[in-house]
């Protein structure tokens, strides 16, 4: 499990464009309105756009990943969940 921002920024520019098109938006909108570090620029995506992003992610993007990017409290909870999962995997591999 990863954060949406990490997933999206790991894509090449061409993959970002293709992802955005499959989601029904532009890579500019995702980059500057959903992933901006400036809270004043952030926008809350529509339910349809969130669904489009999950579908465009082809199993690599979840609703929680997208929502965690736009709701700070949820991002903190998601981070705790990611850390717990990583610890659990680490214990299983040892």
Query: Residues 25, 50: contact at Cβ < 8 Å?
Result: no
* First and final C-alpha spacing in the chain: 20
| Between residues 6 and 85, the one the model is more confident about | 6
- Two tokens, residue 77: 């909870």
Q: Say what the pTM is.
A: 0.75
Give ∠ CA 16-48-45 in degrees, rounded to 5: 65
Domain segments of the chain as ranges: 4-93
pLDDT digits (tens, 9 = 90+) for 56-68: 999 999 988 888 8
| Between residues 84 and 5, the one the model is more confident about | 5
């Amino acid at each position: 499990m990863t954060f949406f921002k990490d997933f999206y920024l790991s894509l090449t520019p061409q993959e970002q464009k293709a992802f955005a098109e499959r989601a029904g938006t532009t890579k500019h909108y995702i980059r500057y309105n959903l992933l901006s570090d400036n809270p004043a620029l952030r926008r809350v995506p529509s339910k349809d756009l969130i669904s489009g992003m999950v579908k465009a992610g082809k199993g690599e993007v979840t609703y929680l990943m997208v929502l965690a990017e736009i709701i700070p409290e949820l991002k903190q909870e998601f981070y705790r969940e990611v850390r717990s999962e990583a610890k659990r995997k680490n214990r299983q591999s040892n």
